[in-house]
Amino acid sequence: MTKQLAQLALGGWCVSFALQAADAPVSYLKDIEPVLKKNCLGCHMPSNKQSGLLLTSYADFQKGGTKGPAFTSVVGYLTGERQPRMPFGGKPIADETVNLFKRWIAEGAKDDTSSVGAQAHVVAKPPAVYAAAPPVMATAFSPDGKLFAVGGYREILLHEYGGKLLARLAGESMRIHSLAFSPDGKLLAAVGGDPAVSGELQIWDVAARKQTASVVGSNDTFFGVSFSPDGSKIAFAGADKSIRLYDAASGKEIRKMDHHEEWVFATVFGVDGKRLVSVGRDRAAKLTEVETGRFIENINLLKEPLTAVARHPKKDWIAIGGQERIPYLYKMDRPRAMRIADDSTLIRKFEKQDGPILSLAISPDGQHLAVSAEVGPVRIYNLETGDLEAKCAGHEGAVYSLVFHPGSKELLTAGFDGMVRSYDLGGKMLKAFAPVPLEKPIVARNE
Q: In the complex, which residues of this chain contact ligand HEC (CB under 6 A)?
A: 39-40, 42-44, 50-51, 53, 64-68, 70, 73-74, 77, 84, 86-90, 93
What contacts 360, CB < 8 A, 6 or more positions away? Answer: 308, 309, 310, 319, 320, 321, 327, 369, 370, 371, 372, 402
Are the beta carbons of 413 and 136 closer than 8 angstroms?
no
* Rounded least distance, CB 312 to ligand HEC, Å: 42
In the complex with ligand HEC, the residue whose CB is nearer, 71 or 295, is 71
Are the beta carbons of 128 and 116 closer than 8 angstroms?
no
* Rounded least distance, CB 67 to ligand HEC, Å: 3
* Rounded least distance, CB 400 to ligand HEC, Å: 29
In the complex with ligand HEC, the residue whose CB is nearer, 70 or 419, is 70
In the complex with ligand HEC, the residue whose CB is nearer, 98 or 118, is 98
* Rounded least distance, CB 65 to ligand HEC, Å: 3
In the complex with ligand HEC, the residue whose CB is nearer, 84 or 407, is 84
Biggest CA-to-CA distance, the chain: 73
Residue 174 phi, psi (nearest 5): -60, -45
What stretch of H or E contains 11?
A: helix 3-11
Residue 129 phi, psi (nearest 5): -135, 145
In the complex with ligand HEC, the residue whose CB is nearer, 40 or 310, is 40
* Rounded least distance, CB 185 to ligand HEC, Å: 43
* Rounded least distance, CB 145 to ligand HEC, Å: 46
In the complex with ligand HEC, the residue whose CB is nearer, 34 or 293, is 34
What contacts 433, CB < 8 A, 6 or more positions away? Answer: 419, 420, 444
Cis peptide before 87 (omega within 30 of 0): yes
Are the beta carbons of 210 and 187 closer than 8 angstroms?
no
Residue 248 phi, psi (nearest 5): -65, -40
